[in-house]
Amino acid sequence: MKKVQRALGVKKAGHCGTLDRFASGLLVVTTGKASRISQFLLESDKSYRAVIALGLDSPSHDPETEITEVPVPEGAFDRLENLLQLFEGKQDQLPPVYSALKIKGKRASDRVRAGEEVELKIRPITIYSLRLLSVDTERNLFEVDVVCSKGTYIRSLARDIGARLGTAAILKSLVRTASGSFSLGDALPVSQLSGETGRRCVRTIEEALVNLTSVEVSEFAVQKIAHGAQFSREEIVSTTMRDSEMCALVHKGSVCAIAVVDFGHWAVRYSAVFCQNTRSDYSHQV
Provide the sign of the torsion angle of the four alpha carbons 18, 20, 24, 25, taken in this order: negative
* CB-CB contact of 115 with 97 (8 Å): no
SS (H, E, C) the chain: CHHHHHHHCCCCEEECCCCCCCCEECCCEEEHHHHHHHHHHCCCCEEEEEEEEECEECCCCCCCCCCEECCCCCCCHHHHHHHHHHCCEEEEECCCCCCCCEECCEEHHHHHHCCCCCCCCCEEEEEEEEEEEEEECCCCEEEEEEEECCCCCHHHHHHHHHHHCCCCEEEEEEEEEEECCEEHHHCCCHHHCCHHHHHCCCCCHHHHCCCCEEEEECHHHHHHHCCCCCCCHHHEEEEECCCCCEEEEEECCEEEEEEEEECCCCEEEEEEECCCCCCCCCCCEC
Task: Quote the CA–CA distance of 153 and 48 in Å, as a whole number.
Answer: 11
Catalytic status, residue 136: no
Computed on alpha carbons and rounded to an integer, the radius of gyration of the chain in Å comes to 22
Q: Which of 20, 62, 110, 145 is catalytic?
A: 20
Name the nearest CA neighbour of 127 among 87, 182, 163. 87
For the chain, what's the residue count? 286
Catalytic positions = 20
